[in-house]
Amino acid sequence: MKQDGPVIDGVEITDDVVISNAATMLLGGFETSGSALTFTLYHLAYEPEIQQKIYDEVSKAIGEDGKFDVSKLMELTYLNAVVKETLRLYSPMGWLDRVASQDYQIDEKLTIKKGTPVYVNAIGMHYDPDYFPESLKYDPERFMPGNEQNIKPFTYLPFGEGPRICIGMRFGLISVRHAISNLIMKYKFEPIPGAPKPMEVEFEKKGLFLVPGQHMAINFIPREV
C-alpha cells in the first residue's frame, strides 16, 4: 500500500517509487556490467600488452595487504581508459530516446515540436571514423589524458548525458573496475585456439541490451605467487 511521502520535482516519493528506481539501478548496473566485463576480458586475452599495462598500474595502486581501495581504482588512468574503450565499442545501450518537453528550434528549417520522440544513434557515432579514427581498433590510448580532450563533446555516450544519464552508471563502473583489478592480479588471460576474435563475436539480436549472442571463453592462467 502506498504511503504519503515527500514531493520532489512534482513526483511524490512513495515506497513504489523508491523500489522501482532501485530495481532500475540494479538492472542498469548488473546486466550491463556483466557484458562490459565479458568484452573487456575477451579483448585483454588478445591484447597482452594492454593486459600488462593494467597489471602494472593496479600492482602499484594496491596496498601491502593486497586489498583494493575503491577510491584509488577511480584514479587509475589506464584501467579507466580500457573500460571507456570497451564501452565505446560495446555500449550496452547503443541508442538513446527522449521526448521533447517543449518546442526546440534547431535552425531556421527545423523545429522539434513538443512531444516528439527523438532517437540518438550513440553507437553509430562511436564507430564513426570522423569522431574516432580507426574506429574498429581497440585502443584505450584514445581515452588517456592528453588524447581524451580531442574527443568531440557528445559523440561518446555509453551512459547517455544530462539529467537523464544512466542511473546505474557509477554502480556499474565501480563493479567493472573492481572485477578487472581482482582478476588481473590473480590470472593472466589467454585466448582459446580456434575461438572467434573479438570483432568476430556475434551480438544478441533479440535483446534490449547489446550483449554477446554466443558463448565467449578464454583461458585463465593463475599467476605465480
Domain containing residue 161: CATH number:
1.10.630.10
The answer to whether residue 2 sits within a structural domain is: no
The pLDDT tens digits for 115-157 are 999 999 999 999 999 999 999 999 999 999 999 999 999 999 9
The answer to whether residue 35 sits within a structural domain is: yes
The pTM assigned to this predicted structure is: 0.83
The answer to whether residue 3 sits within a structural domain is: no
Residue-averaged pLDDT of the chain = 87
Q: Which residues of 137-149 are buried (b: 16+ CB within 10 A; e: fewer)?
A: ebbbebbeeeeee
Tell me the angle at which helices 15-46 and 48-61 cross, rounded to the nearest 10 degrees.
120
Q: Is the pLDDT at 3 greater than 60, yes or no?
A: no
Q: Which residues of 167-199 are buried (b: 16+ CB within 10 A; e: fewer)?
A: bbbebbbebbbebbbebbeeebbebeeebeebe
Q: Is the pLDDT at 2 greater than 60, yes or no?
A: no
C-beta neighbour count of 94 within 10 angstroms: 19
The answer to whether residue 1 sits within a structural domain is: no
Look up the domain containing 123 and give its range. 8-222
Domain count, the chain: 1
Burial class (CB in 10 A: 0-12, 13-18, 19+), 209: middle
The answer to whether residue 200 sits within a structural domain is: yes
For 170-190, what is the mean pLDDT?
A: 92
The phi, psi pair for 39, rounded to 5°, reads -65, -35
The answer to whether residue 128 sits within a structural domain is: yes
Q: Which of 95, 74, 72 minimizes the C-alpha distance to 84?
A: 74
